[in-house]
Amino acid sequence: DAKTTQPPSMDCAEGRAANLPCNHSTISGNEYVYWYRQIHSQGPQYIIHGLKNNETNEMASLIITEDRKSSTLILPHATLRDTAVYYCIVRPQTSGSRLTFGEGTQLTVNP
Amino acid sequence: EPEVTQTPSHQVTQMGQEVILRCVPISNHLYFYWYRQILGQKVEFLVSFYNNEISEKSEIFDDQFSVERPDGSNFTLKIRSTKLEDSAMYFCASLPRAQETQYFGPGTRLLVL
């Protein structure tokens, strides 16, 4: 699986958009970009995933660059409950393969 | 909304004892996983299970570990003889089809004394 690079920590003001970057320069053509988050020691929670088009759901938006070497997760109106570690994971969407977690980004939403 | 459930939420055991961690995946899911997270460290993959057999395992998943789906609903992780370094959060996950996304349970916190 391609390696991802994320900043170790970010801060965001409550109500503002949180933009979390991820670099995945070695991504290959059949690999998707997944985002999960982990609130304290709870189980990782799926947020969103995409291949090359931008995606949006009720939780977030995912912007993938045209060359697919990087992406940004956007939480449009961050709340205190969005404070968590956010993981960007690259994985082929075949054969039920494992998720390989990195260190992620600790997002702290401040009041 | 269906959820993956895990029991117990916490378990304390003595070194050398056997433990069984239990998971009930989401109904009609086909792929099952165990991950662990040692305190302060990354979430690590242990094993995946599909069609009643292990499909992939990591180097962590040695002979002390085994998995089973005994009755079509539960998915268990057994550690035969626990070591201090097995202390961690253990997460179960399930997946409906290969092209979908994995859903995680709340975890079991295992403490080996």
Alpha-carbon span B84 to B68, nearest angstrom: 23
pLDDT band at B28 (very low <50, low <70, confident <90, very high): confident
- Phi, psi of B16, deg, nearest 5: 95, -15
For A96, which of B48, B89, B103 is closest by C-beta distance?
A: B48
> Among all residues of chain B, which has the CA nearest to that of A46?
B103
pLDDT tens profile B61-74: 999 999 999 887 89
Q: Tell me the DSSP string of B13-76.
A: E-TT--EEEEEEPPTT--EEEEEEE-TTS-EEEEEEEETTEEEEE-TT--TTEEEE--SSS-EE
CB proximity A44 to B under 8 Å: yes
The confidence score (pLDDT) of residue A1 equals 58
Partners of residue A87 in chain B, C-beta under 8 Å: 43
Task: With CB atoms and an 8 Å threshold, state whether A45 touches B104.
Answer: yes
Task: With CB atoms and an 8 Å threshold, state whether A34 touches B109.
Answer: no
The confidence score (pLDDT) of residue B97 equals 78
The confidence score (pLDDT) of residue A2 equals 62
pLDDT band at A93 (very low <50, low <70, confident <90, very high): confident
pLDDT tens profile A48-92: 999 998 999 999 999 999 999 999 999 999 999 999 999 999 988
The confidence score (pLDDT) of residue B101 equals 85
Spatial strand order of the sheet with B5-7 comes to B5-7, B19-24, B75-79, B65-68
pLDDT band at B96 (very low <50, low <70, confident <90, very high): confident
> What number is the average pLDDT over the span B26-49?
94
The confidence score (pLDDT) of residue A59 equals 94
Question: Does A7 score more than 70 pLDDT?
Answer: yes
pLDDT band at A97 (very low <50, low <70, confident <90, very high): confident
Question: Does B14 score more than 90 pLDDT?
Answer: yes
CB proximity A94 to B under 8 Å: yes
> Among all residues of chain A, which has the CA nearest to that of B94?
A96
pLDDT tens profile A13-34: 999 999 999 999 999 988 999 9
Task: With CB atoms and an 8 Å threshold, state whether B56 touches A44.
Answer: no
Task: With CB atoms and an 8 Å threshold, state whether B50 touches A42.
Answer: no
CB proximity B102 to A under 8 Å: yes
The confidence score (pLDDT) of residue A11 equals 97
